Amino acid sequence: MIHIVLGTKAQLIKMAPVMSELNDRGIEYNFVFTGQHRETIDSILDVFELKKPDIQLYTHKESTSPLGVLFWFVRVFFTFSCSKKKIWQGDVNGYVLNHGDTLSTLLGALFAKLHGHKACHIESGLRSYSLLHPFPEELVRILVFRLSDYYFCPGDLAVSNVATYKGVKVNTEINTLYDALTMALSGKHKITVDIPQGDYSIVSIHRFENIFDKRRFSKIVKIILEVATHHRLLLVLHKPTKRQLIKLGFFDTLNHHPNILLRDRYDYFKFIKLIGGAKCVLTDGGSNQEECSFLGKPCLILRKHTERDDGLNESAVLCDLDIEKILGIMNNLDDYKRGRFEYSRSPSSVIVDTITGG
């Protein structure tokens, strides 16, 4: 059997094309949802026209605080340990597809190995080579590499990063996010979204090492306010980000700024439409870096390190929290525009071909 273990919105978006490919070929799969993120999951499944989870391991209210995540991890670990026959539907030698660098990825890979399945890591081989940036994602990747049997790597650099690990390495050349983006841009779905009038840029901040480090988060808020002096910004509010803004007393300042629009997080297709109309994206998200690279959109990465090379030093610039560098790029965005990336092969098809022998 093919088992897909997911827990977050970002994982689902990147795995949705693989699940769609399986559907198109009439191949059944067991969808195990860990419940790491719960809000908007149903809307993502609906927009990609995918089935609901066959197994849901955590049904309580989503918690995005560090303590809440720890509680979730313990509960799901216990459920996995006690209900393996039900979770794997009696299968003892299947393929378990895990994605990315979350704690759900680690759980899926660990229990795949413990129960005799082949652990397949999608978006494998990405490294920042800094354990604290991003944390805990970099550590999770290293652990998952050690547990994997198949490594689906989005490019030559990713393949080289897992060269010393045992298992089958498959170069998908690009990430499955390209397929998700293609689906979002296809026009098949009639997506409407409230796009701001005039020029605007998008800000999206959610990384653990940014929002839960008071010093860094305070500096990011100052950067947003400084950039907003001359540029209109649309700040997308991830739940933990909004909570930290309120807790630290920044929310009202941003909310009342005439050049800043605060918006709750969008579903994927709507967000891509917003990126399409934006001048640039300021972000700490790796997926945003990839999306902007595919779209040829300027992207300012507010992190010390990135595990991706997509668009790097072309459309994407690693800025950390260097305000002078950020303002310099914002004032010369045309220098970072590129044409839209076109690729003829589907990475999701490569993955399905490999595990089915197609």
Write the secondary structure of 136-193 as one string of H (helix), E (strand) and C (coil): CHHHHHHHHHHHCCEEEECCHHHHHHCCCCCCEEEECCCCCHHHHHHHHHCCCCCCCC
Higher model confidence: residue 42 or residue 54?
Answer: 54
Q: Phi/psi class of residue 173: alpha, beta or left (left: φ > 0; alpha: ψ in -120 to 50)?
A: left
Are 305 and 129 a contacting pair, CB within 8 Å? Answer: yes
- Angstrom distance (rounded) from CA 284 to CA 79: 32
Say yes or no: 350 and 317 in one domain: no
Domain match, 274 and 301 both:
yes
Residue 309 lies in a domain: yes
32 domain-assigned: yes
Q: Do both 140 and 217 map to the same domain?
A: no
**Other beta carbons less than 10 A from residue 322's beta carbon:** 15
Cβ atoms 216, 210 nearer than 8 A: yes
Count how many domains the chain has.
2
Q: What is the CATH number of the domain that holds 322?
A: 3.40.50.2000
Residues 295 and 351 in one domain: no
Owning domain of residue 239: 201-336
Is 193 inside a domain boundary?
A: no
d(CA 126, CA 132): 15
Whether 206 maps to a domain, the answer reads yes
Are both 352 and 330 inside the same structural domain? no
Query: In this structure, is residue 323 part of a structural domain?
Result: yes
Same structural domain for residues 43 and 107?
A: yes
3-state secondary structure of 72: helix
Mapped onto helix, strand or coil, the DSSP state of residue 354 is: helix
Does residue 315 fall inside a structural domain? yes
For residue 37 the two structure tokens come to: 């993120």
Q: Are residues 329 and 351 in the same domain?
A: no
pLDDT band at 62 (very low <50, low <70, confident <90, very high): low
Residues 59 and 26 in one domain: yes
**24 inside domain:** yes
The DSSP 8-state label assigned to residue 340 in this structure reads: P
- Give phi and psi for 118, each to the nearest 5: -90, 120
Give the residue among 212, 350, 228, 349 at the shortest CA–CA distance from 282.
228
The predicted pLDDT at position 82 comes to: 86
Determine, yes or no, domain membership for 194: no
pLDDT tens for each residue of 71-121: 888 989 998 888 888 999 999 899 999 999 999 999 999 999 999 999 999
Helix (H, G, I), strand (E, B) or coil at 204: strand
Question: For residue 324, is pLDDT > 80?
Answer: yes
Q: Is 181 exposed, middle or buried (0-12, 13-18, 19+ CB in 10 A)?
A: buried
pLDDT at 37 over 80: no
Alpha-carbon gap, residue 23 to 2, rounded angstroms: 12
Contacts of residue 35, defined as CB under 8 A and 6 or more positions apart, other chains included, come to: 7, 56, 57, 58, 59, 60, 62, 72, 76
Q: Are residues 61 and 94 in the same domain?
A: yes
- Quick one: 164 and 109 in the same domain? yes
Residue 67 binned pLDDT confidence (cut-offs 50, 70, 90): confident
Nearest to 181 by CA among 41, 39, 302, 16: 16
Is 70 exceeded by the pLDDT of residue 64?
no
For residues 135 and 213, membership in a common domain is answered with no
278: tokens are 């934006």
Amino acid letter at 60?
H
Same domain? For 68 and 158 the reply is yes
Listed range (181-185, 199-203, 277-281) with the worst mean pLDDT:
181-185
For the segment 239-272, what is each residue's pLDDT rounded down to a tens digit?
A: 899 999 999 999 999 999 999 999 998 889 999 9
φ, ψ for residue 153, nearest 5 deg: -105, 130
